[in-house]
Amino acid sequence: MAEVRLSNIRKLYGKIEIIPSLDLDIDDGEFVVLVGPSGCGKSTLLRMIAGLEPINSGDLMIAGARVNDLSPKERNIAMVFQNYALYPHMTVRENMAFSLRLAKADKATIDGHIGRASEILGLAPLLERLPRQLSGGQRQRVAMGRAIVRDPSVFLFDEPLSNLDAKLRVQMRTEIRSLHDRLKVTTIYVTHDQIEAMTMADKIVVLREGCVEQAGRPMDLYSRPANLFVATFLGSPEMNLLPATRDAAEFDLGEDGKLSGGADFGETGPRDITVGVRPHDIMLKPADQAKLKATVAVVERTGAETVVTCTLPSGRHVCAAMPGQVAVNAGEQVGLGFNPLQLHYFDTGSGKALAA
Amino acid sequence: MHNSFSPLERFVRGLFLAFMLVWSVGPIFFIVLSSFKRQVDIFVYPPKLIFVPTIDNYLKLATQWNGFFHAMGNSLIVAIGATVLAGIVSFLGGYAYSRYRSRLTSWTAVYMIAVRVLPPIVVTLPLFPVVDRLGLSDTHILLILLYATFWVSLNTMIMKNFFDQIPYELDEAAYVDGATEWQLVTRILIRLTLQGMAAGSIFVFVYAWNEYLFAMIFTTNNAKTAPLILSELMGAIDGTVWGVLFAGVTLQLVPVVLLVTLARRYLIAGLTAGSVKG
């Protein structure tokens, strides 16, 4: 087991800067999820940690040692790839044994490691099969088994669930997380799926254009996003943003009306403010009981939840999500109610969050 | 697919099939059959399909033209040598072209294909004085080099296609597992490109086995291959001994037919490499 420290890490492809300068500390045994839109550099970062991409400058430390110039095998890491990357001509057992064979482990050691890994992952009945005789979920498990047998100090996962169907994805999510809880090996997991990030991580690192936008515990990021990007990236449906002009303690939304917030930014604070409100923090009220009025445009019911998209007088859409089944229909006039304490405020110019 | 052809359609298809069979298999059938006939029976009209087979022609080939078997040995040495050499070079070349992309590799790829398009004789004839000076004329090594070179360009591209179909993540997984590049190639990639190697090998072997022109230019005695003897049989001073010639041709056919039949599956895979996802 090991902690991973990245300081001042920089990556260029030719003259294009993929990662300008990145610092990140990952503690021993921590489950860290790197999340961000495609092209944000998360996979590149993971591959740099694995030793599959050279690092242009900066220091990468694993367990206290600088590993920048070490080959993947010398870093004592294991990686699970998006398309599993199982060796097609080898059985499940041979796939798992490959790294141990290369390390010239004796047969008893190999059998011991494979036995333990296949017990943890329920692979015992599949050991003599070839990858093409396995389902997607089973292949995924073999890929994890191949990683486990090596007793690595760090596990790396590169979007491991994106080739699976939705149901299996949820199941494997739980399996990977419980595997981590059992083995307690430092894990770095890359995904573009914010639900995976929220549900699995001890710590989420949100990346954009090679920079860390915010890092922290999932619920901290959800309830106190550092900027507009993080605010809209995490949470589903995404946070509603209402650009406003501050007028004393009120927020003027133009033709949509005014909001009286729970925040006071004083005389010196910015005037142009974006008010953010999560769909789950909006209550639908009778139109005459709320300051903000809207027309219901679309109602989506999933059974457990009702998601209502409303149109404000300015034409802007606001999304509200309520538990259970709410009796509301498209075309109805409604009022939108908020708890002022659950509103988020951002400087419209810089996008940064303002402390309420 | 279900069979929903009308009787007329079926008749026309059968007719075509019969025509194609006669067209492609007919001459071979005639040669093989004739090799077991007495000289006088070979060209009688109408041709005899029922006759008493004889191995006289084969015996004559062995006794009067025993150079043929020596030449067959030469053909075998040259064909196997060229196949092995071309196999190794195009395997490594295909790996390099697939995994190490740069301006240099793309330029050399274009050059390789361009050279392959030129008439071989144009590229080869100027070599004659060089070969002579090196003392390589009339040797097995020379023919092996020539035949292998001739196929390396195409086979390298076939192998590149096979390597391209193997996701690069497999290489990376092997590296993370602790493999060196040599171990990656010898333990993983070689197994996954066997089909391509088999297909490429068949091309080279059949080509080297059948080749006539270069063998005629560059060999005189020691490394003479079987096709040369067959042509000598045709131009023998005392007239063509057809029965013996057909016996030689039949023997010459055997390895090719065997090889292509046994490796039909690989051959098709090699020809269609890249067109279907494995």
Interface test with A, best of B171, B176, B180 (most A CBs within 10 A): B176
Provide the CATH topology of domain A240-347.
Answer: OB fold (Dihydrolipoamide Acetyltransferase, E2P) (2.40.50)
pLDDT at A261 over 70: no
Identify which of A52, A83, A87 has the shortest CB distance to residue B175.
Answer: A52
Q: Answer yes or no: do A73 and B183 touch at CB < 8 A.
A: no
Dihedral angle at the C-alpha atoms of A286, A290, A296, A300, nearest 10 degrees? -80
pLDDT at A276 over 90: yes
Q: Answer yes or no: do B176 and A73 touch at CB < 8 A.
A: yes
Residue A100 contacts residue A152 (beta carbons within 8 Å): no
CA nearest A1: which of A186, A189, A202, A203?
A186
Q: Which residue of A has its CA nearest to B193?
A: A89
Q: Answer yes or no: do A73 and B175 touch at CB < 8 A.
A: yes
A323 Cβ under 8 Å from any chain B Cβ:
no
Residue B247 contacts residue B190 (beta carbons within 8 Å): no
Region class of B163: left (phi > 0), else alpha (psi between -120 and 50), else beta: alpha
B181–chain A nearest CA distance, Å: 12
Q: Answer yes or no: do B178 and A50 touch at CB < 8 A.
A: no
Look at residue B276 in the predicted model and tell me its pLDDT.
37
Provide the CATH topology of domain A4-233.
Answer: Rossmann fold (3.40.50)
Measured between beta carbons, which residues in chain B are less than 8 angstroms from residue A131?
A: none
A49 Cβ under 8 Å from any chain B Cβ:
no
Supply the mean pLDDT for chain A: 92
Average pLDDT of span A214-236? 95
Identify which of A52, A83, A98 has the shortest CB distance to residue B177.
Answer: A98
Residue A20, preceding bond cis, omega within 30 degrees?
no
Q: Answer yes or no: do A50 and B176 touch at CB < 8 A.
A: yes
| Type of residue found at B123 | V
Q: Where along chain A do the CATH 2.40.50.140 domains lie?
A: 240-347
A96 Cβ under 8 Å from any chain B Cβ:
no
Domain residues of chain B, as ranges? 57-271
Total-model pTM: 0.82
A162 Cβ under 8 Å from any chain B Cβ:
no
Q: Answer yes or no: do A87 and B170 touch at CB < 8 A.
A: yes
Residue A96 contacts residue A114 (beta carbons within 8 Å): yes
ipTM of the complex: 0.85
CA neighbours within 13 Å on the CB side: how many for B118? 13
B178 Cβ under 8 Å from any chain A Cβ:
yes
Q: What is the rounded CA–CA span in Å between residue B153 and residue A251?
A: 73
Q: What is the rounded CA–CA span in Å between residue B273 and residue B62?
A: 43
B32 Cβ under 8 Å from any chain A Cβ:
no
Give me the residues of A, 99-138, that contact B with CB < 8 A: 99, 102-103
pLDDT at A278 over 50: yes
Query: Among A160-164, A177-181, B50-54, B270-274, where is mean pLDDT lowest?
Result: B270-274
Give me the residues of B, 189-208, that contact A with CB < 8 A: 191-192
A143–chain B nearest CA distance, Å: 10
Identify which of A85, A99, A102 has the shortest CB distance to residue B169.
Answer: A85
Look at residue B277 in the predicted model and tell me its pLDDT.
35
Measured between beta carbons, which residues in chain A are less than 8 angstroms from residue B170?
A: 85, 87
Which position has the higher pLDDT, B263 or A44?
A: A44
pLDDT of chain B, 278 residues: tens digit per residue = 556 788 899 999 999 999 999 998 888 888 888 888 887 777 878 877 778 888 888 888 888 887 888 899 999 999 999 999 999 999 999 999 999 988 888 888 888 888 888 887 787 788 888 888 888 888 999 999 999 988 998 899 989 989 999 999 999 999 999 999 999 999 999 988 988 898 889 889 999 999 998 888 888 888 889 998 888 888 766 677 788 889 999 999 999 888 888 887 777 766 655 443 33
Pairing of strands A154-158, A4-13: unpaired
3-state secondary structure chain A: CCCEEEEEEEEEECCEEEEEEEEEEECCCCEEEEECCCCCCHHHHHHHHHCCCCCCEEEEEECCEECCCCCHHHHCEEEECCCCCCCCCCCHHHHHHHHHHHCCCCHHHHHHHHHHHHHHHCCHHHCCCCHHHCCHHHHHHHHHHHHHCCCCCEEEEECCCCCCCHHHHHHHHHHHHHHHHHHCCEEEEEECCHHHHHHHCCEEEEEECCEEEEEECHHHHHHCCCEHHHHHHCCCCCCEEEEEEEECCEEECHHHCEEECCCCCCCCCCCEEEEEECHHHEEEECHHHCCEEEEEEEEEECCCEEEEEEECCCCCEEEEEEECCCCCCCCCEEEEEECHHHCEEEECCCCEECCC
Q: Where along chain A do the CATH 3.40.50.300 domains lie?
A: 4-233
Look at residue B217 in the predicted model and tell me its pLDDT.
86
B172 Cβ under 8 Å from any chain A Cβ:
yes
Q: Answer yes or no: do B175 and A71 touch at CB < 8 A.
A: yes
Measured between beta carbons, which residues in chain B are less than 8 angstroms from residue A72?
A: 172, 175-176, 178
Q: Which residue of B has its CA nearest to A51?
A: B176
B182 Cβ under 8 Å from any chain A Cβ:
no
Look at residue A58 in the predicted model and tell me its pLDDT.
94
Q: Which residue of A has its CA nearest to B169?
A: A85
| Type of residue found at A165 | D
B168 Cβ under 8 Å from any chain A Cβ:
no
Look at residue B2 in the predicted model and tell me its pLDDT.
57
Q: What percent of chain A has pLDDT over 90?
A: 77
Q: What is the number of residues in chain B?
A: 278
Q: Answer yes or no: do B173 and A73 touch at CB < 8 A.
A: no
| Type of residue found at B118 | L
A268 Cβ under 8 Å from any chain B Cβ:
no
Measured between beta carbons, which residues in chain A are less than 8 angstroms from residue B185?
A: none
B165 Cβ under 8 Å from any chain A Cβ:
no
Look at residue A1 in the predicted model and tell me its pLDDT.
62
Tokens of A349: 């110019």
Q: Answer yes or no: do B177 and A99 touch at CB < 8 A.
A: yes
CATH of B57-271, one of 1.10.3720.10, 3.20.130.10, 4.10.93.10, 1.10.390.10: 1.10.3720.10
Measured between beta carbons, which residues in chain A are less than 8 angstroms from residue B174?
A: 87, 98
Size of interface A-B (CB pairs under 8 A): 56
Query: Among A126-130, A149-153, A156-160, B273-277, where is mean pLDDT lowest?
Result: B273-277
Provide the CA A245 distance to its chain's centre, in angstroms: 32
Q: Answer yes or no: do B173 and A81 touch at CB < 8 A.
A: yes
CA nearest A159: which of A42, A3, A5?
A42
Q: Answer yes or no: do B169 and A82 touch at CB < 8 A.
A: yes
CA nearest B83: which of B213, B221, B259?
B259
A163–chain B nearest CA distance, Å: 15
A327 Cβ under 8 Å from any chain B Cβ:
no
Render pLDDT for A299-349 as a digit per residue (tens, 0 to 9): 999 999 999 999 999 999 999 999 999 899 999 999 999 888 889 999 999
B277 Cβ under 8 Å from any chain A Cβ:
no
B180–chain A nearest CA distance, Å: 9
| Sheet bearing A4-13, strands edge to edge | A16-26, A4-13, A57-62, A65-66
Provide the CA A338 distance to its chain's centre, in angstroms: 27
Interface test with A, best of B103, B177, B190 (most A CBs within 10 A): B177
3-state secondary structure chain B: CCCCCCHHHHHHHHHHHHHHHHHHHHHHHHHHHHCCCCHHHHCCCCCCCCCCCCCHHHHHHHHHCCHHHHHHHHHHHHHHHHHHHHHHHHHHHHHHHHHCCCHHHHHHHHHHHHHHHCCHHHHHCCHHHHHHHCCCCCCHHHHHHHHHHHHHHHHHHHHHHHHHHCCHHHHHHHHHCCCCHHHHHHHHHHHHCHHHHHHHHHHHHHHHHHCCHHHHHHCCCCCCCHHHHHHHHHCCCCCCCHHHHHHHHHHHHHHHHHHHHHCHHHHHHHHCCCCCCC
